[in-house]
């Protein structure tokens, strides 16, 4: 069968067991519209892979985006022969053969860690602007933004937190299905409920006594849209809601060691935490050093 048909078969199979995420599905659908999708899946050659990547780069995509195509394509080609008897001739050998050339010439590559953080001025302006809109808007953006800045939580995590997952006695809260590279469901993680977070939560109007009711009962995409419109209206460039997570983690890293901050951020270890989110600078160490010297 053609590659586009094999991808469709793969998507249908995944939907029955473990539905692909939004970005995964988007990339697969985009692959179905590419020239390579018209090729027979069992006859793919390394030149087909190279041609696809070069065409994508000609469109202006970066090496990391081109790499996403290859990663998701490989997933389909590896899955098919292990699942269906009529796909025994399908293989990801074409990708393996093409990768040395693609990497040598920088046509594919890893993404560059994002470093953008909102400034104090940007945070103040966004809160002021969104706060005025919150008076009539269904999606209350300011409490979500403030919660993100105090908790390090992602947009989707904030919008699915439930009242029943808050333990007021232990001062903790749980996030269900926390982002994980392999475990999409069942990765429930408990985090400390600091006083600042408790104040924000208690200010939210619980509509029922149902423990499954969400604290912030909004569609996370609607929340993201409100944030995007606000930053554009204020002339704030290259800022995302997720950057509030980076700002929050950087703040905690100034006062706590990485192995404790990961209990707040949800990272499994401190490698990514320090490599991507640590926004501390050399001058930030002076205050901490002076305090240690004074206590010595």
Q: What is the pLDDT of residues 25-68, one digit of tens each?
A: 999 999 999 999 999 999 999 999 999 999 999 999 999 999 99
The values of phi and psi at residue 173, to 5°, are -140, 155
pLDDT at 280 over 70: no
* Alpha helices, DSSP H, located in the chain: 3-17, 22-32, 46-58, 63-83, 93-104, 120-134, 141-151, 155-160, 195-202, 220-233, 243-253, 258-265, 271-272, 285-295
For range 180-208, the mean pLDDT: 86
For range 162-176, the mean pLDDT: 96
Fold type of domain 120-289: hpI Integrase; Chain A (1.10.443)
**Beta-carbon neighbour count of residue 170 at 10 Å?**
10
The upper half-sphere exposure of residue 4, i.e. CA atoms within 13 Å in the direction of its Cβ, equals 11
Q: Enumerate the β-bridge partners of residue 189.
A: 175
For range 266-284, the mean pLDDT: 79
Query: Hey, where are the domains in the chain?
Result: 3-104, 120-289
State pLDDT tens for residues 199-225: 999 999 988 889 999 999 999 999 999
pLDDT at 287 over 80: no
| pTM, full prediction | 0.76
* pLDDT tier for residue 112 given thresholds of 50, 70 and 90: confident
**Tokens 């469709």 belong to which residue?**
8
- CATH for 3-104, among 1.10.1220, 1.10.10, 1.10.150, 2.20.28? 1.10.150
Let me know: does 151 contact 189? Beta carbons within 8 Å. no
**Beta-carbon neighbour count of residue 46 at 10 Å?**
17
Q: What whole-number distance in Å separates Cα of residue 201 and Cα of residue 231?
A: 25
Residue 57: strand, helix, or coil: helix
């Amino acid at each position: 069968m053609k590659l586009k048909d094999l991808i469709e078969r793969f998507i249908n199979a995944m939907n029955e067991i473990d539905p692909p995420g939004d970005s995964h599905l988007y990339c697969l659908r985009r692959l179905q519209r590419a020239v390579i999708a018209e090729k027979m899946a069992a006859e793919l050659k390394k030149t087909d892979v190279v041609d696809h990547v070069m065409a994508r780069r000609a469109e202006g995509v970066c090496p990391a985006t081109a790499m996403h195509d290859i990663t998701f394509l490989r997933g389909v080609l590896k899955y098919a022969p292990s699942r269906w008897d009529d796909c025994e001739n399908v293989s990801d050998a074409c990708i393996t053969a093409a990768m040395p050339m693609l990497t040598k010439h920088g046509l594919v590559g890893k993404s560059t860690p994002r470093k953008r953080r909102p400034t104090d001025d940007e945070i103040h302006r966004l809160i002021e602007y969104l706060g005025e809109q919150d008076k009539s808007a269904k999606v209350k953006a300011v409490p979500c933004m403030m919660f993100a800045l105090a908790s390090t939580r992602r947009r989707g995590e904030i919008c699915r937190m439930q009242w029943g997952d808050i333990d007021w006695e232990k001062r903790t809260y749980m996030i269900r299905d926390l982002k994980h590279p392999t475990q999409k469901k069942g990765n429930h993680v408990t985090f400390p409920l600091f006083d600042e977070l408790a104040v924000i939560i208690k200010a939210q109007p619980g509509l029922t006594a149902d423990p499954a009711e969400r604290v912030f009962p909004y569609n996370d995409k609607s929340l993201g849209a409100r944030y995007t419109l606000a930053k554009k209206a204020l002339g704030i460039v290259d800022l995302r809601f997720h950057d509030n997570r980076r700002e929050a983690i950087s703040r905690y890293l100034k006062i706590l060691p990485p192995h404790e901050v990961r209990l707040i951020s949800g990272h499994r270890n401190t490698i990514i935490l320090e490599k991507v989110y640590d926004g501390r600078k050399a001058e930030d160490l002076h205050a901490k050093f002076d305090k240690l010297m004074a206590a010595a």
